Structure 1
Amino acid sequence: MHRPYRRNRSSVVAARAAAVLAGAAAAGTAYAGAWERNAFALRRYTLPLLAPGSEPLTILHLSDLHMLPGQKRKQRFVSALAELSPDLVVNTGDNLSSDRAVPTVVQTLGPLLDVPGAFVFGSNDYYAPVPKNPLPYLGIGEKTHSEIPLPWRDLRAAFTERGWVDVTHRRAEIAVDGRSVLVAGVDDPHIGRDRYDEIAGPAGPAFDLRIGLTHAPEPRVLDRFDDDGYDLALAGHTHGGQLRLPTGAIVTNCGIDRSRARGVSAWGRNLVLHVSAGLGTSPYVPIRTFCRPEAALLTLVGGPGGGEAETPVEPVQIREPQFA
């Protein structure tokens, strides 16, 4: 008499459990896709990289905008960053997700293009994003890359016409708030475009600060910057891991270890590395978990030892600029 009842009861429990799991999955997807990927944040660091007694110098690091023309909230956030009045703006690539996005990126950056700036490009400045099999990011199978061209030359022309310096395989001296800053960069190592030998050689002591730029923070490039005496390396590409766990990143999509997927760390003998978690995602994977999209404001100050880097200070504040 009671067996059918028990079977029905088990079915009800299973159905309820399935509903709860489905609801949790839906809530998680909504959180990751609708809220977190649009919860833009400003991450702040203080780094003792200048000579003792130096006045602070601020660097706004932007990366991985992956811009689409309709992303109005992202555009408002980036435009509002001009209120920070940085001394130098650095852009480490992957600005585009559409062949129609160049005017949007330029308009969004707005007054920031009037600030001294330097940039290198990433693969998603050269080639449009496409749907991809996620398994290669976990080490299963081989990665493939898009060959659909994007108008990167137009973006480069817009940046350089406003005064930003393209340091792709180039060393450039930039005057920043009365200081002499050496900036050098390579093309995107993620797709094998880096040719460090074109900028190789000691950075030299004649500069107040020496910065190396690369889109993907591949160890082979970071080691060369360290060997040549650069103070600071800036990179993006990782999206901070993008789909993180509360315990940290699952993957970095490059050769660095997962603990460096975002933020500041010491690299090698003298180099300080900052990896930006970036401001966007591929339009085909528009989600983030435990990894808010970010810009970073690095405040460089005088430190003991004539400008040699000590262990960097961890971020003490994350906040979003107030919009008008």
Structure 2
Amino acid sequence: MNTLKADLVCHTSDIADGTAERRCAQATPLGTVRATRARVYVTGNHEYYSEAQGWVDLMDELGWEPLRNRHLLLERGGDTLVVAGVDDVTAEASGLAGHGAHLAGALNGADPDLPVLLLAHQPKLVDRAAAAGIDLLLSGHTHGGQIWPFHHLVRTDQPALAGHSHHGTRTLLYTSRGTGFWGPPFRVFAPEITLLVLRSPHRPTP
């Protein structure tokens, strides 16, 4: 990943099953991931199966920016991108105080004329993102179905399985297959790391 020399590295969560304390040694290598401007992270449903706040704290210690219903500004060459993130949609039901997916809170104070990149673990948040005029939503969760025929079950719960899809009049969703697995410890035809190059539609490609 570091050879890509990315400006922004995004982790859309589900780091591991279990607590951060138990899995700390396995997660610590995430601290070696490099970005020229920012590394950002949002919570996923598997964090809420164990100890979400512990994972948020660990990622913070490893130098990642936990975007818990907030945003930061990424600047390059005179342009500014709003990078926002929300807690997983399962957060509120977890009963963990202060956790819940609040899109309005994530965008609070952002200039409405700036483009917005939103991180949300589950693609099913795309309807809310489209209604809010989000330009690009990055999600994970599906593992791309991981193995056949699991993808059929995923499609009953999520609007997208993997890759690009368009929603509403302006919102683009990219659903990453991710790098890990759930259940059987293997992947079939599932790429791991995605490099996205963002270009303004108002400027010619150099």
Over the aligned positions, Cα root-mean-square deviation in angstroms equals 2.8
Shift, 1:196, TM fit: 2.7
Shift, 1:85, TM fit: 0.5
Q: Please give the alpha-carbon distance, in whole angstroms, between the structure 1 residues aligned to 2:180 and 2:129.
A: 27
Name the amino acid aligned to 1:225.
A
Which of 105, 108, 120 is the aligned partner of 1:198? 105
Q: Please give the alpha-carbon distance, in whole angstroms, between the structure 1 residues aligned to 2:69 and 2:200.
A: 29
Q: Residues 228 and 249 from structure 1, CA distance in 2 versus in 1: closer, same or farther, beyond 3 angstroms?
A: same
Which of 300, 305, 310 is the aligned partner of 2:198? 300
Q: Please give the alpha-carbon distance, in whole angstroms, between the structure 2 residues aligned to 1:116 and 1:226.
A: 25
Q: Residues 126 and 256 from structure 1, CA distance in 2 versus in 1: closer, same or farther, beyond 3 angstroms?
A: closer
TM-score computed with the length of structure 2 as normaliser:
0.78
Q: Residues 176 and 92 from structure 1, CA distance in 2 versus in 1: closer, same or farther, beyond 3 angstroms?
A: farther
Percent pairwise identity: 28
Q: Please give the alpha-carbon distance, in whole angstroms, between the structure 1 residues aligned to 2:200 and 2:31.
A: 29
TM-score computed with the length of structure 1 as normaliser:
0.52
Structure number with larger C-alpha Rg: 1
8 Å CA contact 2:15–2:27 kept in 1: the answer is yes
Shift, 1:210, TM fit: 1.2
Which of 156, 179, 185 is the aligned partner of 1:286? 185
Name the amino acid aligned to 2:102.
R
Shift, 1:125, TM fit: 2.6
Shift, 1:98, TM fit: 4.2
Name the amino acid aligned to 2:112.
G
The higher relative CO (CA closer than 8 Å, separation ≥ 6) is in 1
Q: Which residue of 1 aligns with 2:121?
A: 215
Aligned counterparts, 1:1-324, within 5 A: 81-99=1-19, 100-112=22-34, 115-127=37-49, 148-149=50-51, 151-159=54-62, 162=63, 164-176=64-76, 178-190=78-90, 192=92, 193-199=100-106, 204-205=112-113, 207=114, 209-218=115-124, 221-244=125-148, 249-252=151-154, 255-257=157-159, 260-282=160-182, 284-289=183-188, 291-303=189-201, 306=202
Q: CA offsets per residue over residues 79-99 of structure 1, 9 Å max, x none?
A: xx1011011111111112344
Alignment gaps of 5+ in structure 1: 1-80, 128-147, 308-324
